[in-house]
């Protein structure tokens, strides 16, 4: 799931970069609103991140809920009188009901991850401070991290990979 989101962010950032590089309109552009190269090599980005609720941990959690649901369902007599306990239909019924539990769990975990990623933003007084810090801490920064330069009124940037390089691009 994260790779899909990462690909979407990368595509969005490439579109923004191409649009801003082509000039767009004839008005003078603010020089701060451009793509900044943090490093020519994006390897090692996010390598020191702890896995939180998302990724494999969330899926394992949801799979465990699904297993517990199935065990509970299998022990009980089905509510449908046409389904005999411990029959093939009972197995299919429990599998179907518990798949719903799994899918709901995944949906909730994705929403929690989305909310968590919105909370994670780095704040810097100027672009130089942001670039210096990210260069020194690239193993601790996740792709898609929001970077705020100069306060909340400023337009946000995001950490991304563009052409193999690690960049800071305007959103």
Contacts of 147 (CB under 8 A, 6+ apart): 121, 122, 123, 124, 130, 134, 156, 157, 158, 159, 168
Query: Rounded distance, CA 40 to CA 150, Å?
Result: 25
pTM of the model: 0.43
Average pLDDT, stretch 112-134? 80
Q: How confident is the model at residue 126 (pLDDT cuts 50, 70, 90)?
A: confident
Count Cα neighbours of 91 within 13 Å in the Cβ-side half-sphere: 3
Domain boundaries, the chain: 2-50+119-170, 55-116
- Report the percent of the chain where pLDDT is more than 70: 71
pLDDT of residue 145: 80
Average of per-residue pLDDT values in the chain: 77
Q: How confident is the model at residue 154 (pLDDT cuts 50, 70, 90)?
A: low
């Amino acid at each position: 799931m994260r790779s899909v989101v990462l690909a979407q962010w990368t595509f969005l950032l490439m579109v923004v970069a191409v649009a801003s590089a082509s000039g767009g309109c004839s008005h003078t552009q603010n020089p701060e609103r451009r793509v900044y190269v943090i490093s020519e090599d994006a390897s090692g980005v996010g390598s020191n991140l702890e896995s939180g609720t998302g990724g494999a941990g969330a899926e394992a959690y949801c799979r465990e809920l699904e297993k517990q649901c199935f065990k509970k369902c299998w022990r009980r007599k089905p509510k449908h009188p046409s389904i005999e306990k411990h029959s093939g239909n009972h197995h299919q019924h429990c599998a179907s009901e518990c798949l719903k539990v799994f899918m709901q769990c995944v949906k909730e975990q994705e929403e929690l991850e989305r909310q968590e990623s919105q909370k994670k933003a780095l704040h810097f007084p100027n672009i130089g401070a942001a670039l210096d810090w990210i260069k020194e801490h690239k193993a601790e920064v996740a792709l898609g991290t929001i970077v705020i330069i100069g306060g909340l009124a400023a337009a946000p940037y995001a950490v991304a990979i563009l052409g193999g390089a690690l960049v800071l691009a305007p959103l």
